[in-house]
Amino acid sequence: MENVKDNVRKIVIIGSGPAGYTAGIYTSRSNLSPLILAGEQAGGQLMLTSEVDNYPGFPNGILGPELMNLMKAQTERFGAEIVYENLTGVDFSNIPFKIFTRDSYYKAEAVIIATGASAKWLGLESENRLRGKGVSACATCDGFFFKNKDVAVVGGGDTAIEESLFLTKFVNKITIIHRKDQFRASKIMQKKAFENPKIEFKWNSKIVEILGQNNTEAVMINNIKTNEEEKLVVQGLFVAIGHQPNTNIFKGHIELDEKGYIIVKNQTQTNVEGVFAAGDVHDHRYRQAITAAGLGCMAALDAEKYLRNVV
């Protein structure tokens, strides 16, 4: 393997979203000289987000990529080294830990995993084209922008119902589109949805196309049982079919739950001493930029204490 990095780092941070960059700021200020493995496409999910209006400190809002670039600049200001390589493997069996990329590997006395989670999408070309232009995977992030509009929500689990109920604070009407004739969501959540006058339902249906050039204007729905197609005029589409933590590469190296999220104890510690986790990679409840940043801070403080007292 080329470019083997024989010098042992105090800490390597894997990931470059709010959690990774915040961990970089804190570990840099603790004189740990962190290396951030950012990946070839740095910045996490916020690089795919347009307006961010709920991150403190920006009263007029900020674009997702701009927020990430500011975090990156702040991280570099305090001396963190950022490399734009994709992770290919890890070895947490011994200290120093080994972190592999395509052409090199790095050694570290401690590791913070902040690889985040990715929203599951429908896989439509129009969905990708209109993402941030009416298509979203986060109602709590974007719901405010759809005041008095008609929107659709795709999904049948607790996430879809929770997102729909949250959206009722802003929108005129919500149509929940589900592939089956009953929800997977908990009964109490279903009851709330059925009783809400703003929510309507399309059963046994799937979205086959999203219409609009520069903004979402409608969705084409296919009834799975009858094969009939219907055009539903909406100004927004929220895809709520779940998230997938970016943890496949860590299987067999650290403990994961049944959905692939990292299991932590004492807030950020994994089952491997010296390996910490921060952000959406273990937080499947909140999934917000601000909570990811907070967890990045926590992981950095925990790692700094570990390095001070153990290594």
- The CATH architecture one would assign to domain 4-118+243-309 is 3-Layer(bba) Sandwich (3.50)
| Each residue's pLDDT expressed in tens, for the chain with a length of 311 residues | 445 556 899 999 999 999 999 999 999 999 999 999 998 777 777 876 667 888 999 999 898 889 999 999 999 999 999 999 999 999 999 999 999 998 889 999 999 999 998 888 999 999 999 998 999 988 888 899 999 999 999 999 988 998 999 999 999 999 999 999 999 888 998 999 999 999 999 999 999 999 999 999 999 999 999 999 999 999 999 999 988 899 999 999 999 999 999 999 999 999 999 999 999 999 988 888 999 999 999 999 999 999 998 75
- How far is Cα 33 from Cα 24, in angstroms, rounded to an integer? 9
- How far is Cα 186 from Cα 136, in angstroms, rounded to an integer? 23
> Annotated catalytic residue: which of 53, 138, 280, 302?
138
Six token digits for residue 10 = 């105090």
> Annotated catalytic residue: which of 53, 141, 297, 302?
141
pTM of the model: 0.78
Q: What are the residues whose beta carbons fall under 8 Å from the beta carbon of 174, sequence distance 6 or more?
A: 150, 151, 152, 153, 164, 167, 168, 198, 199, 200
Task: Please name the fold of domain 121-239.
Answer: FAD/NAD(P)-binding domain (3.50.50)
Q: What angle do CA 200, 152, 283 make, to 5 degrees?
A: 110
Domain pair 4-118+243-309 / 121-239, same fold: yes
First to last CA, the chain: 28
Domain map of the chain by residue range? Answer: 4-118+243-309, 121-239
Cα dihedral 114, 79, 297, 268 sign: positive
Helix, strand, coil distribution of the chain in percent, nearest 5: 30, 30, 40
With b meaning 16 or more CB within 10 Å and e meaning fewer, what string describes 125-134? ebbeebbeeb
Dihedrals φ, ψ of 291, to 5°?
-70, -35
Six token digits for residue 202 = 């399309």
Q: Would residue 297 show up in a list of annotated catalytic residues for this protein?
A: no
> Annotated catalytic residue: which of 142, 150, 283, 302?
142
Q: Would residue 181 show up in a list of annotated catalytic residues for this protein?
A: no
Q: Report pLDDT for 6.
A: 61
